[in-house]
Structure 1
Amino acid sequence: MRQHLIIILLALSLPILAQDYPDLYTKSLNINQTGMYVLGGWALANIATGAYGWSKYDGNQKYFHQMNLFWNTVNLTIAGIGLYSASAIHTDPSVMNANSILSAQQKTENTFLINAGLDVLYMAGGYYMTHLSQKKGKYRDLLNGYGKSVMLQGAFLFVFDLVMYGIQHHHGNSFGGALSQVALSPNALTLRFVF
């Protein structure tokens, strides 16, 4: 009786175990790569318009464009690092086991979620700078321009990070949920059913 039960459980788990986790993780890396291209494109557009606006305008518009340029040099650097990290040369999923793939996927999702929380702080900081600009005569234009820029950049990053989290979380459910339902050890096959 026990052998029949093990055979039935193994037959039920084979479709889950047969999934190609390296291919699924490669898709996750491709999602990140696409996201980094979007971030890099946003950064390049802001650097170009920031440089133009900084040279053309005065007052708070000058500082708005100046901060956009500064902020997006950092974004461009992050996008470059992200593209390097998502490249197949840097990360070879075929040498990773299923648990390390799941761990890396969860880390990716958590990173985007944490970043979205930080983006809220950026927007709040930008709002605070614009609020301070009403009281500071000497630095009024600087605080107002920088504050508006930080709010804009924070808002973009908030949307970007939430969208990336949503896409990665949805993708992660395609293999992360199944992986957590099956555990193999030398002496046991464990299946967990969640209703």
Structure 2
Amino acid sequence: MFAGFARVLSPIDNTSDLSKRLKELAGKQVYVGVPEGSENNRPTVSGDITNAELLYIHTHGVRRKAMRDEMNPKVEAGMKYSKAYQMYLQTHGSPLWHSPPRPVIEPAIQYNKDIIAKQLRKVLEAVLNGQNPDQELHKVGLLGQNVVRDWFTNPSNGWAANAESTVQMKGSDRPLINQGELRKSITYVIKEGE
């Protein structure tokens, strides 16, 4: 049971206006990553894949050859690539090229959820105060972008170290950082009406 006291400071009922502003806010989404079609999603230095594809590979790892050999005949025979198989691929064994999963976006957001929540609270306060929340939403996006970019060098990311052969090849022991292009490609967008 809820019991409380409230004092009405204005005889004007603004509930419908507040409801409208909250609905408008609910239709806005902040996305952090490498947006499709953006200039940040250009091909990598090798030119074979885009930054978004590279980020996906590093997030989920790469299938071992034995796994590809096991699955490819089934896929070529018409088997649908189900969610169960996707989970299988993301959770089994040593990846091809010894490239372990090094997830970026989700763990960075999760690790920094408290500071992101504080900024999201400011968005809601702006709406409740009758102000346009767009400036605060952009701050949420920028904050998300920055915590994800920082995740590349955060020791809490728990990433596996580079193999010695990789260290010798690129001259660095920093996973996922060679020229910094992937990290710089992380940005944010705000979409409305979804």
TM-score scaled by length of structure 2: 0.34
By relative contact order (CA 8 Å, sep 6+), the higher-ranking structure is: 2
Specify the structure having the higher radius of gyration (Cα): 1
